[in-house]
Amino acid sequence: MINYDLVIIGGGPAGLTAALYAGRSRLNTLLIEKMSVGGKILTSETIENYPGFPGGVSTTELMARMEAQVKELEVKITAEEAVELDCVSRIVNTGSESYQAGAVIIASGSAPRKLDVPGEKELTGRGVSYCATCDAPFFKDKRVVIVGGGNAVAEEALYLCRFAGSVNIVHRRQDLRASKILQERMLANEKIKFILNSVVTGIKGANKVSAVAIKDLVSGKEEDFACDGVFIYIGHEPATGFLKGKLQMDESGYILADEHMVTSAPGIFACGDCRKKGFYQVINACGDGAVAADSAYKFISGATHGKK
Ligand code: NAP
């Protein structure tokens, strides 16, 4: 068993910001990240609404800067997956190691939601993708479908246009959820076509994607639409499965935490996209992370937040 003042689970914007503030408070801190530090924002190429970067900034650069800033402090980062958290003893188990902490910050984020249609699982990596930034270059001059109607679809459709021959957005309603500025850009791009009031009911292909079945929700008609790739951007699900039954959550698994990031368990804090809130952005994930570190510091030092 290894002891730390603070263990942070997750190395996206929320976890890295919590680590920054914890390091500056001189808490002996461990950050656990199962993949590469940076989080799912790295599945977008650029971010245009992070303050201070007119014209936008590459997500790789932004997250590398956040990581470098944390590394200037004595925060330890380990590449492991937290598989269990005892919310009473505050012991985090990664399978290979156990860490006991004065406080724990959960910043485990969320993962892309699956469409859950026939062919999706079998053809993932063979034309089905959840990351345009990673896979778009494979679709040079090809015909791709992108599913969803939010900001992620808009940004990734515009990015895909740099490579693909045509980008066909399939959305289940008439109106998009994406911000107006992104909708304007999509409408101005002649490579982008909209298939509205429609859903993808299946993905077809022997070894790689060759078509999707699309159902028109108004007429009820279903037809195959030939394509080489399918990008799915229909929101996210919180990465909180390992905490089920241990903390109060909503019905979708988002952790309930107050404005101090205090959860239902003393000394356990939650921040970023794994927390139930109304607006999921990098900027407020960072804000959450700063607050969580402050609350954890106060809890450890016996000051207030965290219902010690
Ligand atoms: P989102 O905003 O939740 O949008 C998900 C889209 O997928 C919605 O259009 C939804 O349709 C559709 N959808 C959900 N389940 C579906 C299903 N089973 N079948 C078909 N369609 C389905 O998710 P997101 O675009 O991934 O963004 C996640 C969060 O990150 C949001 O808060 C977003 O604002 C934020 N974000 C912000 C930026 C930015 O500000 N630049 C960029 C990317 C993401 P309905 O509209 O009918 O519900």
User: Which of 173, 204, 232 is where one domain is finished?
Assistant: 232
| pTM as predicted | 0.84
Same domain, 134 and 149: yes
Same domain, 67 and 130: no
Q: Is residue 11 included in any domain, yes or no?
A: yes
How much distance in Å is there from the Cα of 46 to the middle of ligand 1?
A: 17
**Mean pLDDT of all residues in the chain?**
95
Higher-confidence position of 263 and 132: 263
Domain count, the chain: 2
Q: Is residue 308 included in any domain, yes or no?
A: no
Same domain, 76 and 28: yes
133 confidence band (pLDDT: 50, 70, 90) = confident
Tell me whether residue 176 is exposed, middle or buried, using C-beta atoms within 10 angstroms of its C-beta: 0 to 12, 13 to 18, 19 or more. Answer: buried
Name all residues whose Cβ lies below 6 A of ligand 1: 49, 147-153, 155, 172-173, 177, 199, 233-236, 280-281
How large is the average pLDDT for residues 8-20? Answer: 98
**Count H helices, E strands: the chain?**
6, 19
Q: Is 175 a catalytic residue?
A: no
Taking the C-alpha atoms of residue 213 and residue 202, their distance in angstroms, rounded to an integer, is 5
40 confidence band (pLDDT: 50, 70, 90) = confident
Same domain, 127 and 224: yes
Ligand 1 atom nearest to CA at 149: 9
DSSP structural state of residue 276: -
pLDDT in tens, 295-306: 999 999 988 776
User: Which of 190, 213, 232 is where one domain is finished?
Assistant: 232
Same domain, 143 and 33: no
Same domain, 20 and 91: yes
How much distance in Å is there from the Cα of 154 to the middle of ligand 1?
A: 10
Q: Which CATH number belongs to the domain containing residue 147 in this structure? A: 3.50.50.60
Same domain, 131 and 228: yes
In terms of residue numbers, what domain contains 8? 2-111+236-300
Query: Starting from the edge strand earliest in sequence, which strands make up the sheet with 211-216, in order?
Result: 198-204, 211-216, 222-226
